[in-house]
Structure 1
Amino acid sequence: MSTSLKPVRGRAWLFGDNVDTDQIIQGRYLTLLDYSEMAKHAFEIPRPEFSRNVRKNDIVVAGNNFGGGSSREEAPRVLSQLGVGCVLAQSFARLFYRNAINIGLPVLMIPNVTHSVNDGMTLDVNIIKSAVIIKETGETLSGQPLSRMVLDILQAGGAVAWFRKVKESRK
C-alpha cells in the first residue's frame, strides 16, 4: 500500500509529554490479532473517546518523548488503522519513530507544537517540507525535515514495500 505524501488536513488531538506505548494501546489488547479490533482501544485511558471519534486524516499532536516505553509495532499500527494522517510531536522515542516510518505512518518533529496547537484545531501538514499551518490562527510551524530515504519509505507505504520496490528496480 502506497502512502501519499500530499499535504494532510485534519483535526488535532492534543496529548502531553511522555505518552508511552501502553497509553496508545495497552498490553492486554495485544492478544487481539485483528488490528481493527485492537484499534478500538487506542488511547483508552488518556482519551477514551479517541477511537470512537477520530476521523480519517486527524492528527495526533504531542509533547516530548511520544511513544516511549515498550517497543511495540502495534502502537503506530492502531493509529494508522484508525486513519490518523500523521503524528506531530516535539520529540519521539526512537523505537516508536522507526516503527511508525516502517509501517508508513508519517511522524514529524515540530518544536513547541503543543504551545501553538489546541485540541480540535484544523491543521494543514506538509510532510515533505515538515511544515504545519494552523487554520484558525494562520501560524506556520516548521520542523526537522525528513531525509530523502525516510520520504521514499513513507511514499512506498513502509519499509517492506520500499524494499520490494528497490528489489524490483534491480531486476
Structure 2
Amino acid sequence: MIRGKVWKYGKNVDTEEIYPGRYLVHFEPQEVAKHAMEDIDPKFAQRVKAGDIIVAGHNFGCGSAREQAAMTLKYAQVGAIVADSISRAFYRNAVNNGLPVLAMEGISEQVNEGDELEVDLESGVIANLTTGAKWQTKPAPKLILDIISMDGAIAYYKKTLK
C-alpha cells in the first residue's frame, strides 16, 4: 500500500521534462534527485516528500526512453506514478528501477493537487483519502509486483536466477 500527497501534472509529460538531458552526466542518486521534474515544476525536488504520488494525464513518460527519468523520481522518493496512461518505455524503466506505476483512465480528472491518495498495486484500488472516493483499475501483474517489491529488476533476477 502506497500513501502520499498528490502532485498533479497534465498530459504528455515528456522524459525531457521529468529529467532534462543536460543532467545526463550526473550519476549520484542525490544529485540526480535534485533535478526531478525541474523543467515543469522547478521547486518539485525541494518540496516532494517520501511517498508522494504523481498523478498525470495521458502518455506520462513519453519521448526519449532514457532510464534516468524513472530513476530521478525513484531517487526523489516518489511513492508511485498514477496516470491516465503511461508510455511503454517509461513503464518498463520504472518497474525495472522499483518505482510503482499504475494506469487508470480518467484518474487525472478525479483528483486534485494536494489530495492524499492510497494506492494498492495488488488489488488495483485507488482511494482518495481527502474526498473519500475510491476507484478500481487493473491490478499490477504478479511479476511486476515481485520486481517492485525487490526494488527493481536487478535485485529480482539476482535472487530468482540462482
Counterpart Cα distance in 1 of 2:59 and 2:33: 21
Query: What residue is the counterpart of 1:96 in the other structure?
Result: 90
Query: What residue is the counterpart of 2:118 in the other structure?
Result: 124
Counterpart Cα distance in 1 of 2:153 and 2:65: 17
Shift of 1:38: 1.8
Shift of 1:92: 0.7
Shift of 1:76: 0.8
Q: What TM-score do the two structures reach when normalised by structure 1? A: 0.92
The question of 1:159 aligning with 2:153 is answered yes
Counterpart Cα distance in 2 of 1:150 and 1:33: 25
* Structure 2 SS opposite 1:133: strand
Shift of 1:112: 0.6
Aligned residues: 162
The question of 1:15 aligning with 2:9 is answered yes
Q: How does 1:97-112 map to 2 (within 5 A)?
A: 97-112=91-106
The question of 1:54 aligning with 2:48 is answered yes
Counterpart Cα distance in 1 of 2:159 and 2:32: 29
Cα deviation 1:73-116 (Å, max 9, x = unaligned): 11111111111111001111100000000011110011211111
* Structure 2 SS opposite 1:13: strand
Query: What residue is the counterpart of 1:3 in the other structure?
Result: none
Which segment is superposed worse, 9-18 or 147-156?
147-156
Cα deviation 1:54-87 (Å, max 9, x = unaligned): 0000001101000010011111111111111110
Structure 2 unmatched runs, 5+: none
Q: How does 1:54-93 map to 2 (within 5 A)?
A: 54-93=48-87
Shift of 1:35: 2.4
Shift of 1:20: 0.6
* CA RMSD in angstroms, aligned pairs only: 0.9
Q: How does 1:11-50 map to 2 (within 5 A)?
A: 11-50=5-44
Structure 1 ranges of 4+ moved more than 4 A: none
Structure 1 unmatched runs, 5+: 1-6
More contact order relative to length (CA 8 Å, sep ≥ 6): 1
Task: Provide the identity percentage.
Answer: 41
Cα deviation 1:105-144 (Å, max 9, x = unaligned): 1100112111111001001111211211101111002222
Which segment is superposed worse, 11-20 or 38-47?
38-47
